Amino acid sequence: MTQPLILQPGKPVDACVIWLHGLGADRYDFLPVAEILQESLLTTRFVLPQAPTRAVTINGGYEMPSWYDILAMSPARAISREQLEESANMLTELIEEQRSSEIDASRIFLAGFSQGGAVVLHTAFLKWQGPLGGVLALSTYAPTFSDELELSASQQRIPVLSLHGQYDDVVQNSMGRSAYEYLKQRGVTVTWQEYPMGHEVLPEEIRDIGVWLAERLR
């Protein structure tokens, strides 16, 4: 497995953001964003993992960086749950690595764009049982949320910032909104913010992320 890209701050580390890219991208995709955020988050390490390259069914079996296979797009996304679990296990290992480097779990944040965000939401609310600093869910959805899921007290205390484009034609705005509503109904402190954009990231959004992180890293 390709090693994550790690962006170290100039000052002693006391916080970490683990950021997963989207389908077909790579670990360098959000490096410019991490560099911008680190200008004000002076003690925060950014860890940017790389998804394995594998065949993606909806793309004609073409191989590309993918956290899990997508088998069909409608009526709802059909995915490889096994591959999603593998990616969630990888993410859990990265959390544990940061904890072993003496970063408190309450100062470890998970961020993910699109497919990477789906892995982040699954990991935070179905896999991980300890505290976290928070979750950044960018232009994403939650294919593994279900009515049967019950969140633990520690999971309910994980704050979430959900960000989505109003004109997203890849992951529809309504899919992101559904994940937001799901968490809100289960007592999670979750904030919804949308932007006049498609399936992308805007400078305004990056600024909002920086403010949200800074408030939780005082």
81-121: per-residue pLDDT in tens? 999 999 999 999 999 999 999 899 999 999 999 999 999 99
160-165 vs 190-195, strand pairing mode:
parallel
74 to 58, 161, 171, 216: CA distances (angstroms): 11, 26, 12, 37
Cis bond upstream, residue 75 (ω within 30): yes
Instruction: Specify whether the CB–CB gap between 139 and 113 falls below 8 A.
Output: yes
Note the pLDDT of residue 149: 86
- The fraction of the chain above a pLDDT of 70, given in percent, is 99
User: Which of 27, 2, 17, 4 is CA-nearest to residue 212?
Assistant: 17
Mean pLDDT is lowest, of 92-96, 147-151, 154-158, for: 147-151
Note the pLDDT of residue 5: 96
Note the pLDDT of residue 148: 87
Packed helices 115-122 and 81-100: angle between N→C axes, nearest 10 degrees: 70
The residue ranges of DSSP E strands in the chain, in sequence order, are 5-7, 15-20, 44-48, 53-56, 62-65, 70-72, 78-79, 108-113, 134-138, 160-165, 190-195
Instruction: Enumerate domains of the chain plus CATH numbers.
Output: 5-216 (3.40.50.1820)
User: Which of 19, 16, 181 is CA-nearest to residue 99?
Assistant: 16
In this structure, is the dihedral angle defined by the CA atoms of residues 197, 203, 206 and 210, taken in order, positive or negative?
negative
Note the pLDDT of residue 54: 95
CA gap 114, 108 in Å, rounded: 20
CA gap 95, 51 in Å, rounded: 16
Kindly indicate the confidence band of residue 46, based on its pLDDT and cuts at 50, 70 and 90: very high
Which DSSP letter does residue 58 get? G
Q: Which residues contact 65 (CB under 8 A, 6 or more apart)?
A: 21, 23, 24, 25, 26, 50, 51, 52, 53
Active-site positions read 114, 168, 199
Mean pLDDT within 199-210: 97
CA gap 118, 1 in Å, rounded: 20
Kindly indicate the confidence band of residue 75, based on its pLDDT and cuts at 50, 70 and 90: low
Q: Is the pLDDT of residue 216 over 80?
A: yes
- Structure pTM? 0.96
